[in-house]
Amino acid sequence: MKYLEVSVPEDHAYLIPISDIHWSDPSFKKGGKQKLKGYCDWVMERPNAFIFLMGDVYNVASRYGKTSPFEIEDTDEYEEAINFFEPYKSRIIGAITGNHEFRIEDEFGINPLQFFCKALEVPYCKYSAVIRFKVGKRKNAGNRYYQNYFVYAHHSTGGGGTIGGKLNRVVKLGDIVEGCDLILGAHNHQLAVAPRDVFYPSIQGGIMKRRIWYVDCGGYLEYDDSYAEKAMLVPAKTGSPRIRFSGKEKHHDVHCSL
């Protein structure tokens, strides 16, 4: 588990967690690539917006996985993905591995996402990361910010055939790290979000309430002729969530858009 910090002086910040691209999979088509570029361009147009890569950037098709190497496009997915993200590297907070990249690590002890991160000079966080967002810098107060947010990100495992089953895997991640405002999961290609309020006793006296957001981060594979269609899985909307953090005084607020 890695710890990262992002400081945003503006009165709000954005995070786009990008997951399950599966570069070179035949279901990662022109439409998926254009949508991915649209999200990344949107980030670059805003100085207070950032990207975090949630795993399965690469497809890594093999005879031992669910995607056959005989089905992939004739392409160098490793070089192409690096070239695609090169213009956006200054806004990539970091990256965690997915189960597809782990196929190579499990077999040979190296992970292609490590080379991806080294080439782009972004932190490689391996399995999971905690990200602290400091938002809304106070004037004449040194390095103090009005709001602090904590995000836990993991590619996750398993899932299910229903939206609820998939989102339950993200909720389960909340058992690992306490005190987070946002729990991010991936792996199942589902876009979904659910808030939950929890109560806790305050050392100042009384009972306080905080809101936790559980977010399933989607993917970029189209449905026709895909593994999802073959496995009788329900089609899911492609893309990524957009998360907004308020940096205003006395306004600790997270907003998630799908």
**Domains of the chain from N-terminus onward:** 2-257 (3.60.21)
Q: Are 4 and 123 in contact (CB under 8 A)?
A: yes
What does the mean pLDDT of the chain come to? 92
Least confident of 49-53, 92-96, 235-239, 251-255: 235-239
Span 102-117, mean pLDDT? 92
**pLDDT > 80? residue 51:** yes
Span 197-202, mean pLDDT? 92
Q: Are 124 and 89 in contact (CB under 8 A)?
A: no
Span 165-178, mean pLDDT? 94
Cα(15)–Cα(18) distance, integer angstroms:
9
**pLDDT > 70? residue 62:** no
User: What is the helix (H) or strand (E) element at residue 12, kind and residue range?
Assistant: strand 12-18
pLDDT of residue 225: 79
Band of residue 160 on the pLDDT scale cut at 50, 70, 90: confident
pLDDT of residue 233: 79
- State pTM to two decimals: 0.93
Q: Work out whether strand 49-53 and strand 2-8 pair parallel, antiparallel, or are unpaired.
A: unpaired
**pLDDT > 90? residue 39:** yes
What is residue 52's three-state secondary structure? strand
Within 8 A by CB and 6+ apart from 41, the residues are none
pLDDT of residue 46: 98
Least confident of 33-42, 57-66, 104-113: 57-66
pLDDT of residue 80: 95
pLDDT of residue 246: 98
Condensed to tens digits (0 to 9), the pLDDT of residues 241-251 reads 999 999 999 99
**pLDDT > 70? residue 121:** yes
pLDDT of residue 50: 98
pLDDT of residue 166: 92
Listed in order, strand segments (DSSP E) in 104-233 are 128-137, 145-154, 182-185, 191-201, 207-217
**pLDDT > 90? residue 201:** yes
Within 8 A by CB and 6+ apart from 34, the residues are none
Span 154-174, mean pLDDT? 91
